[in-house]
Each structure stands twice: as structure tokens, then as C-alpha cells.
Amino acid sequence: MLKFQNITTREKKPYLNNLNLNILNGRFVLLNYKSKLEKNKIIDLICQLDTPKSGNIIIGGKNLSKFNCRSKIIHKRIGICFEDFKLIQTKDVLANIILPLKIHTKLSSKKLIEAGEEQLKNFGLLEKKHNSLTTLSLEEKQRLNIARSIILNPELIILDNPQTHLKIEKIESLMKYLELLNKAGKTIVVFTNNKKIENMINFEKYILEKGAISNV
Amino acid sequence: MFKKMSQMNTEINELIQKNITYYTLSFTTLIFAFLFFNISIISVYNIYRNNKTLNKSYTLSVYMNNNVSQNSIEKIEKNILNLDGIEKISYINKELAFQNLAAQLGLSNRGINNPLLNSFIVKTKGEKNLNEAKVIIDEIDGVKEVIINKKSVTALDEKIKRNNKLIIGLLIIILLPIKIMIFNIMHGSVVSQNHDIEAKLYLGMEKKEILRPYYFINNIKFISAALIGSLIFLNLYEFLRAQITGLNYLASTIQAGIVVGLILILIILSFPFLSFNLIKVKR
């Protein structure tokens, strides 16, 4: 599902240096990291906001280096929950959650709203659908962030520190939910250094260190 | 197409509504920036016009011999007029000049011999033409003496040089900061939204698509501020010209309007292209 082949990035002292990673379809992977820069670089590469100096990135069998520009086809297959939320400040809760659908599908406004409301209901945010982001607590923002990452029903779900701002019981129920998604065939990658999460589920575990990935 | 337009319209509405204070303040600042921009443009234009007039004011006096007939005087006048760089020639009759002089001094001119000569006041374009004209006129039959008032020539030269320095100074001191101010405001409106722009990029939206509403708002804001600022300026200009005596030497409001209009059209036409380079997002 997600394959990094000999990836070296463009910096003078590359953040990622000859990195290899192969995550097969339907796996649930946990990635520990020593440096935020290295972790963010991987996310940038997956989002096609950066290109490597050398090596290949293959997502769902498609080699990113063969695309001249950012491919929406690939983006549609990935859902990312960002550590810093990356929510749109000028939009309300409902508009935020349906944004990936707006970008990657051609659903009518009515269907967009229906899908958005459904997802908000699942994450306990329906009553706040017309709220501005400034009225949400950090925990609610994180829930919205997670909800948005899976609204497209993507094959690959990447969660960057999904436990941030969540209480322990919420983290547990999130992990159970992710496990269900994984059982339904989704590939899930969690970037975290949180020990509690590590003990919750039986992950395939890797460590990102000194620009390379090693198996644990 | 209509769907895209309606989406963009919604985006623009959201952007403006959420940042209404920012947009109002930046729009007002832009109007003021254009007001000062126009003031400096018209100051430069008026100084330039003044320089042009001064440049045509290099003067020499041509004194005729006493025995020159009226016919010859007319021929001499025609000859001088045909020389290069002659802007204006005026004949001064010695009798008339004597009467004026006597009147100025409060004397009676009866019984006094007129010591003056018939003469021409010749105005040339630039100092070079003045010197060349002097050499040629000196050779004409019937001309007794050609005099250049060196003091007034030096004063004229200095005035023109001072004006040129003023034009350059105005362009550097006023226009450049105004330009930076205008462009910073335009740039700032995008930079202030960098968080949202970056978030949309991470979600897979095309950069062009993301920036389209910003370009649109910026262009509309820029063009309307330019028009409003210029109209306010032209009204003020007309008001000041009408109310303050002694400002008649300034270019007329219509002329000022044409200059401002032409420059605005150039800026407005070039801004949409400039704004693409101006608005640079991190990625």
C-alpha cells in the first residue's frame, strides 16, 4: 500500500537518508520517531508537497515520481489526521468536514451535507456543525480532524499523534474504531511516541531514526 | 463552470466575512496609499511641466542700429524666427520703450533725446540654442549688439537642475515607499491566510484553485482602491486650484486627470500579472 524505496531528501543534511519502508495492504503500523522534522518530511512526501532527491514512493501501486503534478487520484486514497489539525479557520465545522469530499468527489451539495452530518454524528459533533472553529475545544478539534481524515473512506489512513488532546477513554475508543477499520481492510499508519497507545493494540512497529527506518 | 463560480463566490464571501476588519483596514490604507501616490505623480508632472517652460525661457536681447528701416526690421525678425530652437520673438519699439521707461521713473520725456534702440527679445529652447543663436544673429546686417544676461541664464540653469533633482527625489522618496506599501498590503492579505492555504494544500487541493479567490479579492480591492483614491485626489486637486489663488500655474484638473488615468490604466492592467508573482506560497 505504501512503499518508500531508497528515499533521500533534498536538504543539505537530508532529513531522510536512503529510507526504505514497505507497508502492505491491510496492515496496522505504528511508527515511533526521534525527530519531528523527519516525521513531517514523510507526511510532506506522502501529500506530494515535496519530492525526494532520489528514490521512489509508491502508494497503492502508483509511483509518485511518474506524476508531474500532485495527483488527486492518489490523494483521494489517503486520509491524514494532522498533528496541528490543519483545519480551515474561515470555515465552520460542517464545511471543514466536507472539504475533502468537495475536493475529491463530485457529490451534490445535498449529498455532501448528508455525508458530513453523518460523520459529525459518529464523532459527537453534529450539534456543533454550524459552529466556528474558535468555539471548539482542542479535543473537539482533534475529533473533527480525525473525522475529516476518514470521510473519504480512504484505503490508507495516516494518523499523526491522534491521541493529542484526547482523554484516555477517548483514545481507547479511537483505537478500537481504528482496529475495526483495519479489520475492514484499511491500512493504518500511526505516528506516535505515546507508550499507552503502543500497549493498546498489537501493531507492526517501526522506528524512524537518523533518517532511516528500522524494524522493532 | 457555474458550479465553480458559485464555489468561488462562497469562498470569497467566507474570506471577507471572517476577515472583515482586516479587509476594511487594508482597503482604506490602500485608498490613502493611492491618494499619496497620485499627489506625488502630479507633483512630479507639475515640476516637469515647469521645467519645460523654464527650458523655453533662455532670453537674449538684440539691439538694432538706429538707421535700420522698418522693412529691414521685419526681415531680421523673420530671419531670427527661422533659426533653430527659437521659441518666441518680441519686437520692442524704442519710442514705446522710452515712454514706458519715463512712466516708470515718473519723468516727462519731452525735450529729452531718446537714448534707447529698437530691439528684439528672443527666447530660445535651451542654453545651447541660445549661444548658437547669438553667434548667428551677431552676423546679421543691421544688428548692433546681442546681449545675453549671464546671471539670469545661470539662475535658470540652477532652477532646472534643482527641479530635476526634486523629480528624482520625489520618485525615490515618495513613490518607492508607496509602491512597497501597496504591494505589501496585497501580499499581506495572502500571507495572513497562509495557515488555511497550507491546510488546503495538504488536503490535496490545487494551488491555483486555492489562490483564485485571493487573486480575485486582491485585484478587485486594488482596482477599486485605485479608482476611489484617484477620484478623491482629483476632487481635492480641483478644489485647491479653485480656492487658493496663485495655484493657476499648476496643470489643469483635466490634464491631471489624464495623467493619473493613464498611469492607473497601466497599473491596473499590469497588476493581475504582477500579482501572480507577488503572491508566493511556501510550497
Over chain B, what HEC string results? CHHHHHHHHHHHHHHHHHCHHHHHHHHHHHHHHHHHHHHHHHHHHHHHHHHHHHHCCEEEEEEECCCCCHHHHHHHHHHHHCCCCEEEEEEECHHHHHHHHHHHHCCCCCCCCCCCCCEEEEEECHHHHHHHHHHHHHCCCCEEEEEECHHHHHHHHHHHHHHHHHHHHHHHHHHHHHHHHHHHHHHHHHHCCHHHHHHHHHCCCCHHHHHHHHHHHHHHHHHHHHHHHHHHHHHHHHHHHHHCCCCCCCCCHHHHHHHHHHHHHHHHHHHHHHHHHHCCCCC
Contact A24, A47 (CB under 8 A): no
Alpha-carbon distance A143 to A87, whole Å? 11
- pLDDT score, position B68: 79
Work out the pLDDT band at A23, boundaries 50, 70, 90.
Answer: very high
All residues of chain A having their beta carbon less than 8 Å from the beta carbon of residue B18 are: 89-90
> Is residue B99 a contact partner of residue B116, using CB atoms and an 8 Å limit?
no
CA gap A145, A131 in Å, rounded = 15
**Looking at residue A92, what is its pLDDT?**
92
Q: Which of A49, A89, A102 sits opposite B202 (nearest CB)?
A: A49
Instruction: Give the mean pLDDT of chain B.
Output: 84
pLDDT value at B235 more than 90: yes
d(CA B257, CA B233): 9
How far, CA to CA in Å, does A68 sit from each of A121, B258, B278?
39, 48, 24
As given in the structure block, the three cell numbers for residue B112 are 529729452
B176 and B228 in a single domain? The answer is yes
Task: Tell whether B170 and B257 lie within a shared domain.
Answer: yes
Burial tier of B83 (Cβ tally within 10 Å: 0-12, 13-18, 19+): middle
* Residue A101 pLDDT: 94
CA–CA separation, A51 and A67 (whole Å): 11
Residue B109 has a pLDDT of 62
Contact between A49 and B193 using a beta-carbon 8 Å cutoff: no
Residue B254 resides in a domain: yes
Nearest C-alpha neighbor of A157 from the set A182, A180, A176, A193: A182
Q: Residue B104: its pLDDT value, please?
A: 81
B135 in the same domain as B199: no
Neighbours of A118 (CB within 10 A): 12
CA-nearest of B160, B136, B155 to B146 is B136
State how many domains chain B has: 2
> How much is the pLDDT for A26?
92
Same domain, B10 and B130: no
- Cα separation, A41 vs A186, in Å, equals 23
Please report the pLDDT score of residue A117 as a whole number: 96
Domain that holds residue B168: 2-53+158-278
Q: CA-CA distances (angstroms) from residue B196 to B177, B200, B207, B281?
A: 29, 6, 12, 11
Residue B258 lies in a domain: yes
Residue B113 lies in a domain: yes
Domains of chain A: 1-77+154-216 (3.40.50.300), 87-153 (no CATH)
Instruction: Looking at the structure, tell me whether residues B44 and B66 fall in a common domain.
Output: no
Q: Please indicate, yes or no, whether residues B107 and B189 belong to a single structural domain of this protein.
A: no
Cβ(B190)–Cβ(B197) under 8 Å?
yes
C-alpha cell at B105: 521713473
Q: Are residues B85 and B140 in the same domain?
A: yes
* Confidence check: pLDDT of A32 > 90: yes
Element (H, E) at A188: strand A187-191
Residue A30 CB-half CA count within 13 A = 22
Specify the range with the lowest mean pLDDT, choosing from A132-141, A200-209, B11-20, B148-157. B11-20
Yes or no, beta carbons of B205 and A82 under 8 Å apart: no
Least confident of A18-32, A71-85, A197-211, B66-80: B66-80
Q: Which residues of A touch B (CB under 8 A)?
A: 47, 49-50, 70, 72, 75-76, 80, 82, 86-91, 95, 99-100, 102-104
Cβ separation B199–A103 shorter than 8 A: no
Predicted local distance difference test score (pLDDT) of residue B159: 93
The interface predicted TM-score of the complex, written ipTM, equals 0.92
Q: Which of B203, B206, B281 to mutate to test the interface with A (most CBs of A within 10 A)?
A: B203
Task: State whether B196 and A88 contact (CB < 8 Å).
Answer: yes
**Which residues are bridge partners to A12 per DSSP?**
none
Q: Could you tell me if B39 and B108 lie in one domain?
A: no
Nearest CB neighbour to A99, from listed B15, B203, B283: B203
Fill in the DSSP letter of residue A197. Answer: H
Question: Span B73-86, mean pLDDT?
Answer: 86
Whole-number pLDDT of residue A60: 85
Report the CATH number that the domain containing residue B135 is assigned in CATH: 3.30.70.3040
pLDDT at B276: 61
Pairing relation of β-strands B86-92 and B119-124? antiparallel
B234 band by pLDDT with thresholds 50, 70 and 90: very high
pLDDT digits (tens, 9 = 90+) for B169-220: 888 877 777 777 777 777 777 777 888 888 999 998 888 888 888 888 888 8
Residue B282 has pLDDT above 60, yes or no: no
Whether residue B232 sits in one domain with residue B144? no
- At residue A182, the pLDDT reads 94
Q: CB neighbours (10 Å) of residue A169?
A: 8
pLDDT, residue B274, reads: 64
Cβ contact B204–A91 (<8 Å): no
Looking at the structure, do residues B274 and B170 belong to the same domain, yes or no? yes
| Among candidate residues B105, B121, B150, the one where a domain is terminated | B150
Confidence of residue B222 (pLDDT cuts 50, 70, 90): confident
pLDDT at A118: 95
* pLDDT for residue B127: 87
- Say whether pLDDT at B278 is over 60: no
CA–CA dist A127, A198 (Å, integer): 33
Q: Which of B150, B184, B208 is the last residue of a domain?
A: B150
Amino acid B93: pLDDT: 84
Whether residue A130 is predicted with pLDDT greater than 90 in this model: the reply is yes
Interchain contact, B201 vs A49, CB within 8 Å: yes
Please check whether residues B198 and B81 belong to one and the same domain.
no
> Of B106, B123, B150, which one is at a domain's C-terminal end?
B150
Please indicate whether residue B280 or residue A78 has the higher confidence score (pLDDT).
Answer: A78
Average pLDDT over residues A176-187: 94
Asked if residue B283 is part of any domain, the answer here is no
B37/B171 same-domain check: yes
Using CA atoms, how far apart are residues B159 and B39, in angstroms rounded to an integer? 22
